[in-house]
Amino acid sequence: PAPPARDVEYEESPDAIRHEMIVPVRTINIASMRALAYAGSLGQPVLAVHISPTREEADRFLAYWRAWGDHVPLEVVVSPYRALVEPLVHYIRERRRHHADRTLTVILPELVVRRPWQRVLHGRTASRLSRALEPLPEVVVTTVPVHVSD
């Protein structure tokens, strides 16, 4: 029997699932490198996504990306506001629409701090993005913990 529409959950065999890993990258730092390394270790296609508020900033990031080595394909989304969550959710929603045969796995670096007051210094973008993506079918969110020392 044919499986139901993709927006309805159903049982499927592991070999029937096609994956694509998406790693949001704000800057090239240890947290994003760890998330990209983890994504690459899974043996599935990986795509990095960067949100920039201006075309100039996007071009600057592309230059950094190329200098780093351009190891992973990168898509840059220019969004005129400094918001990250909504433009990423919109991008992932559109990606799902155009690649309905794939399960998108969004891999987020998440800073783990020792002291509660340190959480204030590090935005909770990963948890906000995770909550925003939760309603989307065929989108999996996983975090890669990055422990920050004092």
* pLDDT (mean) for 11-36: 85
Given a cut of 70, whether residue 122 has pLDDT beyond it is: no
Q: Which two tokens stand for residue 67?
A: 């200098």
SS3 state at 145: strand
Q: How confident is the model at residue 70 (pLDDT cuts 50, 70, 90)?
A: confident
To the nearest whole number, what is the mean pLDDT of the chain? 84
Residue position matching structure tokens 């999996």:
140
Per-residue pLDDT tens digits for 75-121: 999 998 878 889 999 999 999 999 888 899 999 988 777 766 555 44
What's residue 40's pLDDT?
94
CA count, 13 A, side-chain hemisphere, 49: 23
Given a cut of 60, whether residue 28 has pLDDT beyond it is: yes
Distance of CA 78 to the CA centre of its chain: 16
Q: Which two tokens stand for residue 95?
A: 């990606």
What's residue 119's pLDDT?
53
